[in-house]
Amino acid sequence: MSTATVRESQLSSKTRLSTLAATRLVALREISTQVRSKSFIISTLITVLIIVGGIVATGFFGGDDDDEQIPVVTTGISQDVQQQVEEAGFSVTAADSMPEAEQLLRDGDVDAIVTADQDSPVGVRVIGVDEAPTAAAQQLSVAPTVEVLEAGGTDSVMRYFAAMGFGLVFMFVAMGSGVMIMQNTIQEKQNRIVEILLSAIPARALLAGKILGNSVLALMQALIMGGSAALGLAVSGQLAFLQMLSWPMLWFLLFFIPGFVLIASVFAASASLVSRQEDSGSVMTPAMMLVMVPYFVVLIFLDNEFAMMVSSYIPFTAPVSMSMRLFDDAVEWFEPIISMGLLVLTTALVMALAAKIYSRSLLKMGQRVKLTAAFASND
C-alpha cells in the first residue's frame, strides 16, 4: 500500500492538530454540510419569502396612503382659508364659481368641493358626489389635543410585534439549530463514527466545533431573518419602524450569541446521553422547553413589569426579555450589562458541564446514560 519514500515525505508534513484547529475543522464541516443541504436552502428561502412578503403585505393592506394628496376644488372662500386648506395637505384647484367646481367634481377630477359655510364650526362645507367625502372631511376636522401621562415612547401594537419578533426569531433559530445539533450528535453516536473521530481529536474539540459551527449558522439565520424584516419594512416604506428597532436589535444580537451557545450546549449534552434517534424524545423535551419559554414569557408577561424584569436576568429568557425591555426603553444603563454578565457566566458553566457529560457518554451505547453515571465516570 505504501512505499518507504512516500511515508517519509508524509511524515514531515503532518502534525497533531491543536484543539483549536480541530474545533475549526469540525465547525467548518457542520456549516458546509448544512448549508449545502437542500432542506436548509429551501427552508431559508421560505423564511425570507414569508417575512418579506408578510411585512410588505401588511404595509400594503394596512397602511393608509397618507402621502397621497386628496384633490379638492375650492370656491368662494377667502385667501386665508384657501391657504389653510392647502396646508392641510390637499391638492387644491381654485374655481371661480360653484357650477364650475361642480363640473370638476362630477368629471372626477377632484374628490370634493370645499366652500365657505357660516353655519359650520370650522367655517367650510365639504361636498361630495354620491357619498360623503369622509377622508377630506376628516382631514379638515379639528381634533382636541391628546396626551398620555406615561409615555412609553412606542405604541402597543408596535411593542407587541417587536416582542413577537424577538421571541419568534430566537425560538425558531434555537429550535432549528438545537434539533440539528441533537440529530448530528446522535447520528455520529449511532453510526459509530464517533469512535474514529475521537481517536483523532479530543471530545471537547468535537463538542466545541459543533457548537461553534451551529452558532455561526444560527447567527446567520437570525441575520437573514432580521435582514428580511428590514428589507420588508424598507420596501413597504415603514422606515420609521426600522430606526426605532435598531438599538434593541443590536443588543438582541449581542444577547443572542451567548444565549444560543447556552442552548446549543444543553442540546449537545442531552443528545450524547442517547444512542438512537428513537430515544431522542426523552432528552429532547427538557431542552425544547428551554427554547420555548422565552417566547411565551414575553408574550404573556409583556405588560407585567416585574415579571419582565425578573426574566430579563434569568439567562435562558434574558436574550428575549432584556431585548424587549430595551425596546421599551425601560432599563437603567447597567441592567443589560449585568444580565449579559450572568448569561455569559452561566453559559461558560453549562458548557463545562456539557463537555463533561458529552465526553463521558459519547461512547456508551445502548440504554440512555443516566446523568449521574456520566458524572461519576472518569474519562
- How many C-beta atoms lie closer than 10 Å to residue 277's C-beta? 14
Q: What is the dihedral of CA 279, 282, 283, 287, to 10 degrees?
A: 140
Please identify, using beta-carbon distances, which residue of 26 and 263 lies nearer to other proteins.
26
Strand (E) or helix (H) holding 114: strand 112-116
Only one of the segments 78-86, 197-205, 220-228, 238-246 lies at the binding site for other proteins (rule: CB under 8 A); that segment is 197-205
What is the distance between the alpha carbons of residues 356 and 373, in angstroms, rounded to a whole number? 11
Only one of the segments 2-10, 127-135, 287-295, 309-317 lies at the binding site for other proteins (rule: CB under 8 A); that segment is 2-10
Angle between helices 318-328 and 239-271 (to 10 degrees): 170
Please identify, using beta-carbon distances, which residue of 58 and 377 lies nearer to other proteins.
377
Query: Smallest distance from the beta carbon of 308 to other proteins, in angstroms?
Result: 43
Query: Smallest distance from the beta carbon of 278 to other proteins, in angstroms?
Result: 17
Q: In the Cβ-directed half-sphere of 47, how many Cα atoms lie within 13 Å?
A: 21
DSSP letters spanning 264-333: HHHHHHHHTT-SSGGGHHHHHHHHHHHHHHHHHHHHHSTT-HHHHHHHTTSTTTHHHHHHHHHHHT-S-T
Question: And the C-alpha cell for 83?
Answer: 391657504
Query: Smallest distance from the beta carbon of 40 to other proteins, in angstroms?
Result: 13
Assign 122 to helix, strand or coil: coil
By CB under 8 A, tell whether 1 contacts other proteins. yes
By CB under 8 A, tell whether 38 contacts other proteins. no
By CB under 8 A, tell whether 146 contacts other proteins. no
What part of residues 350-369 is at the interface with other proteins (CB under 8 A)? 363
Query: Smallest distance from the beta carbon of 296 to other proteins, in angstroms?
Result: 35
- How many C-beta atoms lie closer than 10 Å to residue 148's C-beta? 7
Query: Smallest distance from the beta carbon of 1 to other proteins, in angstroms?
Result: 5
Question: Of the candidates 20, 41, 200, 337, which one interacts with other proteins according to CB under 8 A?
Answer: 200
Please identify, using beta-carbon distances, which residue of 6 and 337 lies nearer to other proteins.
6
Query: Smallest distance from the beta carbon of 201 to other proteins, in angstroms?
Result: 5
By CB under 8 A, tell whether 25 contacts other proteins. yes
What part of residues 5-24 is at the interface with other proteins (CB under 8 A)? 6-7, 10-11, 13-17, 22
Annotate each residue in 100-139 with x if it binds other proteins (CB under 8 A) or - if it does not, as one string.
----------------------------------------
Query: Smallest distance from the beta carbon of 280 to other proteins, in angstroms?
Result: 17
What is the distance between the alpha carbons of residues 139 and 111, in angstroms, rounded to a whole number? 13
Angle between helices 38-62 and 19-36 (to 10 degrees): 60
Query: Smallest distance from the beta carbon of 182 to other proteins, in angstroms?
Result: 16
- How many C-beta atoms lie closer than 10 Å to residue 120's C-beta? 11
The residue count for binding other proteins (CB under 8 A) is: 37
By CB under 8 A, tell whether 373 contacts other proteins. yes
What is the distance between the alpha carbons of residues 231 and 53, in angstroms, rounded to a whole number? 10
CA 210 vs. chain centroid, Å, equals 23
Question: Of the candidates 193, 235, 300, 352, which one interacts with other proteins according to CB under 8 A?
Answer: 193
Cell 418579506 belongs to 52
Question: Of the candidates 148, 151, 157, 376, which one interacts with other proteins according to CB under 8 A?
Answer: 376
Query: Smallest distance from the beta carbon of 347 to other proteins, in angstroms?
Result: 26
Query: Smallest distance from the beta carbon of 202 to other proteins, in angstroms?
Result: 8
The one-character DSSP state at 18 is P
> Taken in order 289, 293, 299, 304, is the CA torsion positive or negative?
positive
From 279, 289, 269, select the one nearest 375 (Cα to Cα).
Answer: 269
By CB under 8 A, tell whether 197 contacts other proteins. yes
**Exposed / middle / buried, residue 285 (Cβ in 10 Å: 0-12, 13-18, 19+):** exposed
Please identify, using beta-carbon distances, which residue of 7 and 246 lies nearer to other proteins.
7
Question: Of the candidates 52, 70, 163, 201, which one interacts with other proteins according to CB under 8 A?
Answer: 201
By CB under 8 A, tell whether 196 contacts other proteins. yes
Chain contacts with other proteins (rule: CB under 8 A):
1-2, 4, 6-7, 10-11, 13-17, 22, 25-26, 29, 33, 187-188, 190-201, 363, 373, 376-379
